[in-house]
Amino acid sequence: MSNTSEKFNFVFSANKVHVHHWPLNSPVWSDLMKKNINLNLNKNIQKQEITIHESQIRINNYEFDKIKKVGVTVPLFKKETRIVFEGQCSGFDTHVHITTNSKEYLDIFNQLMNWKNRYFPD
């Protein structure tokens, strides 16, 4: 286990990212925000770089902060890891789903669980 005073940094590639407006009673996204998120994240079929630095997540060039309600799973019968969280991007509330089916999916799961337990112990 790493020293709690050490900064947490972790980078991995995702096969699929889906970001949407949440909760429903939060301010509605601008049309530009919807367009950019759909084009650059939701409909992007390229592997996407995920960087986790302490309590922030960067997906390509999008920064997510005010992270909460973090879930990390390895779905039954699938060789992949999923992370789901709520946060903010450019001041807009979001709900984010990230899926990786890297060969190292179990190592990624373990790193994500260490991160979750350290920064979001619920």
Domain hosting residue 79, numbered range: 9-119
Locate 120 and state its tokens.
């979001």
- Listed in sequence order, the residues at least 6 apart from 68 whose beta carbon sits closer than 8 Å to its beta carbon are 85, 86, 87, 120
Q: Residues near 28 by Cβ (< 8 Å), separated by ≥ 6? A: 21
73 — phi, psi (to 5°)? -140, 160
Residue % of the chain over a pLDDT of 90: 91
Phi and psi of 69, rounded to 5°? 50, 60
Domain presence at residue 115: yes
d(CA 110, CA 121): 15
102 falls within a domain: yes
In this predicted structure, the answer to whether residue 27 has a pLDDT above a threshold of 60 is yes
> What's the CATH code of the domain at 38?
2.30.29.30
pLDDT digits (tens, 9 = 90+) for 78-101: 999 999 999 999 999 999 999 999
- How big is the CA angle at 11 (ends 22 and 14), to the nearest 5 degrees? 55
Q: pTM score, two decimals? A: 0.91
CB 73 within 8 A of CB 85: no
Domain assignment present for 4: no
User: Is 59 a domain residue?
Assistant: yes
Which whole number is the average pLDDT over 19-46?
Answer: 95
Number of domains within the chain:
1
Look up tokens 């999008």; give the residue.
62
> Could you read off the pLDDT of 71-83 as tens digits, one per residue?
999 999 999 999 9
Q: How confident is the model at residue 121 (pLDDT cuts 50, 70, 90)?
A: confident
